[in-house]
Structure 1
Amino acid sequence: MVFVFTVGMLPVTKSFAYTGGSLEGKTLRLGTSITDNGIGTNNSTDGNETTGATLEKNGLKDTLWYEFTSLTEVFSFRLRAKLDTTAANNAVYVLYFDQNGVEIHRQLVQLSTAATTTDIDTPKNGVKKVAVLNPSPDASRTIYEFDVFTNTDTTPPMNVSNLNSSNVTDTSFSVNWIKPNDLDYDKAEIYLDGVLKGSVAATNIQNYSFSGLLSDKSFIVKVVSVDRTGNKSSGSTVTVKTNVKPDVTAPGNVTDLIGTPTYNAVSLSWTNPPDQDFARVKVYENGVYKRTVTKDNTTALFENLEPETVYAFKVTSIDNTGNESTGATIEVKTLKIPEISDIKDLKAEAKFDRVKLSWELPQDQYFHHVNIYRKEIEDQSFFEDMFGSSSVSAATTEDGYTPMFETNGTYWTDLTVKSDADYKYKVTAENTAGYETQGLEVEASTPQETPPKMEDVEYKENENGDYVVTWKNPITGKVKIFVGGNEYLTVPAAQGTATIPKADLKYNSYGAPDVTVKPVSDSGLEGEEETPPKFGNGDTPFSVGELLQTGNGLLWYVSPLLLLALAFLLVPKLRGLITQNIKKDSPRSEKALERRTGRSEERELRTENKEQQHEKIERDHIERQDRHVGREFNGKVEKIEAPGRPIREENRVGEKPTPIIERRATKERHLRVREARQKREPREPSRRVREARTPREPRKGRGAS
């Protein structure tokens, strides 16, 4: 901003005054304050030292002041004054005020009874008023000359920005803008087609409205910025065109308005008007707007109405401009609530954990859903059986039923039943108005729950040694896992698998994992335990292939030994047979036989004695065997005939027990053996005649009689 000094420090015609000051020749106001216009005087601005204005005592006409046309920068003042009389306060104040009357500067000037001139620099911007004040309540002052020196602003403010129009109609519009940032911006002047229409102060909303204009016409609006000095900008312009005069004629009403009622709804239908600018219809119910329907539709449905009630409807037409017709009206009365029929073919299928109900729905137009009720029939006393009453649990209705479910389907499954219990169900039909039928009843008895069973169980050890158990059934309930006879883990049956870490695994005496699984139903019923094979992977600790392989291996080691043993047993006998045959065929043997014929009698005697000795030895041997076998046989017989009775009697003190021997069975057997031996060919008698031994007495304690 450029300032031009309009007044310099030039001496006036008289030594005590200046010429060219901002107050030179101006009329000052003399009053009680800067708001009191009082009287006007120029005695203090005429440059004559003999004339002046008297400031009365404080509280009277004590203020001499002047107001600039705009805010001004004051950089100095000159004052020539004197005291009329000496008083306690011998000074005056020079004051500056802003546009709101707020004091922004105060300068004290001391006076004397002789006139003196004072020049003081007081640079201050935004000054609207200057004044001289007598603060003394006792004496007056005479002001001969008072002048201020200012800078003059010749630079205009910036133009307004963002000038635009709004709220355009056929006869009016508004313009808006953003004011400039100049500190001395004061107002905006508004021109319409070059004609000043008004102004908007800087402190107001930057908006201006025009009205009473012609429709469908363009206007040029110019907004000029003005500062406090009065400088004006070049101005900003905008062209605004008013709208075409709108259509104020409403379209025709709809025709053929028809209302079709039910007990709780009304369906409206109509024919739209033929107007080219027809856009939509509005529908009112009992005078209250309810909805808008586009021109593509000609129906409207109103629901949730009261039965047997009259409703007044009005349908108005709306065009593109918004004009609304008077509307077509109709009154419609809703129907009476209809009754519906009951369901059919109610059936119940019971299992231990559920009861499935099925039925046929009624074929009524207003059917909505079915209600399902249940009550559990408990044991009845004799008195209740006699009079036909039954006790129910959780009863919430008058007839003892508890509401369970609502559905519009044809079946429902009750999963809240208990096993081995009796239930009674009632299923009713309900229409859209809430009317409920009497309903049908059915009884169902759930059987006892069958214990769950493990199926397709497999056991295996994975690579890291963990033991894995898998199964296909059951898929409901739980499965308990036992390790070493103790419950180790419980998992959901649907999981189908359980893993036992190697560190927690225990083994049985066969070296197989000691693991047991037991199924448990959802109700807590436990099934039979399932155990893995005793030997781990089968019923034996080895397979058939392993057994054959092991047997073949043993034969390789055992067969040589068997052959050697057979050789020791058979070779001597074969040698004896060969030798005997050779002797029979040789002449030497015949001669030996002849030599022995002479001794036939002796040989017969010896043979007879030898046979007697053999019979004696054989008889003794048979008796010993009989005694031994008899003891065992008698003991078995006693156990069979008298179980629990001691086989032998109590021994007497100092005596050995005498065994009871039954020889009949053993003698028969040994006689048969003896006869068989006699029938066989006798062996050749030995050359050496053995002397008969004296039969020895049987040992004590061996059952000898």
Structure 2
Amino acid sequence: MFKKIVVITGLLFALVPITNAFAYSGGMLDGKTMQTGANTYTPLGTTTTVTDGDFNTFEDLAGGSGNASVKDHVFYQWSQPQTITYYRLKSNKNSLSIYLYNANKGVIRQIQYANNTGALTEIKSTTGVYYVAVVSNTGVANTVYEFDVFNEAPSLDKTLYNATKLTEKVDGKNVTLTWENPVNSDITFTGTKVYRDDTLLATLQPDQKEYTDTTAEFNKTYSYKVVSTYDIGDSSGSSVKVKIGEDPANIPPVIKGSELSKESNGDYTYTWEEPTKGQVKVLVGGEEYKTVSAADKKITIPAKDMKYTRLNDPDISLVAISENGVLGETTKPPTQLEKTELPFSVGEFIKTGSSLLWWIAPFVLLGLAFFLVPKLRNLITRPFKKGEGGEQDRTAASEGNERAARTTGVRQLRTPTIRRERAAREQRVSRISIKEPRPEREGTKQGRLPREIRKGN
């Protein structure tokens, strides 16, 4: 039983990776078996440790002793010609060379002191390559961890390697961006590019994680993007939108923390906490009294200069003025009525009103019932009564019309008769004046005719 446990434990440790892999996926040598030897003509063995993508596996190369039994080359042969444009080499020292050979093992290109950081390194595109070799020929021993070549740049999963925790801070019109650079062992991080509305602002070093834009303008919205750059390309970038507010110098200032107090001698002191820059204009009785510096944070008005409202409140107000001359809103102290505290709150008032309405509502409804029910009853019963009493109504209406006609006819007949009788009974006197003078009676003076005769009645 104990032996089984040991075997199982050993298998588990063998299956579980204990080191981080260095991904060289997509390379022309990825997982290939390479040869080792004193040169490309004398193979001494094979290895996969430099193409397995694991930093903890390696191949030691001697320092170019020239001994045919000492390996200082690790190389690979293709059956067909290849084109090589990039390479990656990870070793402990920067003293290795890379050789590209044709089919006859003639050197096409030699790269001395090749970049050993593991970064993707571009070279001039070389065609017709049949052999590639890493050579230690400087007299110094080297340890090779990984090696690969590419005919084109390997693809980068850009969404996985963006900067993280991107934040912005606006101070006036200055925008400061901060972020965390990506951490990835597969590829080499080379720095950061900062864009504003797709325009490059800066290219930063790998250790920089902050940038301040001092060229932004007030009252505008910008889109910033932080792009992480690598030896094989750039990430898609992390973006953030930033809105720059209005210029504080153009914003109307506001009086804050103001308080009016009356001194023992009758004078009034008006204090405020903000603003502290610009000026404050003091109005008394609606007219300008004085303009003082906002930094004073107070002004005293003598009792003889104070004016009062109809409610006997001090008629004084303040107007803040910015450094650019922008006027703020007028601020007045609270009146005595506004200072008065009611013995109940708004909630208590609503609650009491609701209770009162609960008691009054039944009586209101009862009164409406007395007023509306008769009208509603007549509205409902009138059509039924109209059918029963319709004939009587028509008869009464006909009799009334005949009676009115007879009365009108009698009046029309009687009027001419009366007038004729009056004309025969009374003598009509003309009202037209006579030009010739009337003769006077001897010894008497002619009197004026009675009014009835003059009117012709």
TM-score by structure 1 length? 0.22
The answer to which structure has the higher helix fraction is 2
Q: RCO higher in 1 or 2 (8 Å CA, sep ≥ 6)?
A: 2
TM-score by structure 2 length? 0.32
Q: Which protein has the larger Cα radius of gyration, Structure 1 or Structure 2?
A: 1
